[in-house]
Amino acid sequence: MERLERIATKVESLGGDFYITFDEAERFYLTGLSSTFGIALVGKGGNFFITDGRYIERAKEVRNFKVILWKGWEEFTSLLKELKAESLIVDPYRLKAKTYKELSNKFYLIDSEGFLNELRAVKSEREISLITRAVQIAELSLKSVLHLLKPGITEIEFRRALIEAFFKLGGKGEAFPTIVASGRNSAVPHWETGNREIRDGDLVIVDFGTVYGGYVSDITRTFLVGNVSNEARRIYDAVLEAQELGVRELSAGKSCREVDLKVRKFLEDKGYGKFFTHSLGHGIGVEVHEAPTLSQRSKEVLKEGNVITVEPGVYIPEIGGVRIEDDCLITERGAFRLSHLPR
Ligand code: GLY
Ligand code: MN
C-alpha cells in the first residue's frame, strides 16, 4: 500500500488527479496480476483497475484497487468524469499515440517521462527474493544442461534444452529470447540463435534468464570450447577483469555514468575500447531492461535496492566475442552478486 500512497503523493505534487497507465509491465507492477489488457489509475481519489472479461474473475484477487469491467471508451470517460478527474499524469513512452490522442481530446494530460521508473528501480524485499529465485533457477538450469554444450550441438538445440530446464526447475520460460552465439556469431552482441553447430575452438556466448513470480533474471557466460586461440583467451581475461572491476565499483550513491566510464577506460587501456559497443548494464525487475542504466549517457545515481546487471563485452569480427554478466543488488556497502555461476 505504501507504494500506492507514494505514487498518489507524486501525482498530486505534479498537479494531476490520477496517474493513468495502459502498460502491461506497469499494470503487473501495480496490481500483481498479469494481463494483456487493462488500465490502472492511481491517485488521491482512489486506485482503480479496469480490465475486460478475460481477467475480471482473477482481478478479484487484486488488493488495494477497485476493479471495474471495461465496457468501452465512452463508459470509461464517464467513470473518469465521475471521479472528477480533469488532469491525468501520463508517461508518453508507455502510451500508444492513438490512446494519447483519445485521452487528450477529453482531459488535460501532464507528460511525465518515466513516471514510475525511479520507484520501480528500488526493489522491495519481496521483489529481491523473486529476482533471486529467478537467478537461481536460471543458474541451476544452465548447470543441468551444460554437459550438452560441446562440438556437434547446434545453437538452437542448446537453447531448447535450456528452455526445457527453466520449466522443469520452476521458471516460467525465457525472460527474453536466449542468445547462444558460437564462433564468429559471438562477435554479434545480440546474435539471433541459429542452426550453426558448435565446434572445437569456438567462443560461445550464452545470455539467458527466466521468469519467477513475474520477475526476471539476466545472466551471460562465455565458454571456451576445446582449443581456443591465445587471442580469444586474452579477450576473455580482459572482459573478466573488466566485469570484476565493474562490480567492485558499484555502491549506493555512485554515478552510473562513472561506473560505465571506469570499465570502458579499463578496456580501452587493454586495446579493446572500440570493441565494447554497448553500455555496461541495466536494471532488471518486471522487465529485462529497467532503470537505472550503467551507460555513458546515464544521469542516474545508484540507490540501495537497485538490482542491476554488469555486462561488459568485447566483440571482434572474425575472431569472436566475450560477454560476462551478473545480476547485482546495490547496498550501502557495495554490490552483492545474486548470480554465482563460476566465471
Ligand atoms: N540479456 C539481454 C539484454 O541484456 O539485452
Ligand atoms: Mn543484460
The pocket around ligand 1, CB under 6 angstroms, is made up of: 176, 207, 218, 288
Q: What pLDDT was estimated at residue 225?
A: 97
Task: Give residue 332's pLDDT.
Answer: 85
Residue-wise pLDDT for 78-103, tens only, equals 999 999 999 999 999 999 999 999 99
Least confident of 45-49, 217-221, 325-329, 330-334: 330-334
Give me the CATH topology for the region 121-337: Creatine Amidinohydrolase (3.90.230)
**Cβ(43)–Cβ(8) below 8 Å:** yes
C-alpha cell at 41: 489509475
Tell how far CA 179 is from the center of its chain.
15
Q: Write down the mean pLDDT value for the chain.
A: 97
User: CB-based contacts of 287: which residues, under 8 Å, 6+ apart?
Assistant: 25, 216
- The secondary structure of residue 298, as a DSSP letter, is -
Displacement of CA 136 from its chain's centroid (Å) = 16
pLDDT band of 1, cuts 50, 70, 90: low
> Same topology for domains 2-115 and 121-337, yes or no?
no
pLDDT of residue 100: 96
Domain 2-115 is in which class? alpha beta
**Cβ atoms of 41 and 47 closer than 8 Å:** yes
- pLDDT tens digits for 190-204? 999 999 999 999 999
Let me know the angle formed at the C-alpha of 180 by 174 and 182, rounded to the nearest 5 degrees: 180
Between CA 204 and CA 47 the distance in angstroms is 48
**Integer Cα distance of 306 and 329 in angstroms:** 6
CA-220 nearest atom, ligand 1: 1
What pairing do the DSSP bridges indicate for beta strands 179-182 and 203-208? antiparallel
User: Residues 281-323: pLDDT tens digits?
Assistant: 999 999 999 999 999 999 999 999 999 999 999 999 989 999 9
Residue 188 pLDDT exceeds 70: yes
**pTM, rounded to two decimals:** 0.96
Q: Which of 216, 222, 288 for mutating ligand 1's site (highest number of atoms within 8 Å of CB)?
A: 288
Q: Using CB atoms within 10 A of its CB, is residue 227 exposed (0-12), middle (13-18) or buried (19+)? A: exposed
Using the structure block, give the residue that is written with the C-alpha cell 465512452: 74
Test site for ligand 1: of 142, 207, 326, most ligand atoms within 8 A of the Cβ: 207
Q: Where are the domains of the chain?
A: 2-115, 121-337
Looking from the CA of residue 209, the nearest atom of ligand 1 is: 1
Task: Give the pLDDT score at 333.
Answer: 87
How far does residue 217's CA lie from ligand 1's centre (Å)?
Answer: 10
pLDDT tens, 245-277? 999 999 999 999 999 999 999 999 999 999 999
Mean pLDDT to the nearest integer, 339-343: 96
Q: Pick the atom of ligand 1 nearest to 311's CA.
A: 4
Three-state DSSP state, 281 = strand
Q: What is the whole-number distance in angstroms between the Cα of residue 260 and the centre of ligand 2?
A: 14
Report whether pLDDT(328) > 70. yes
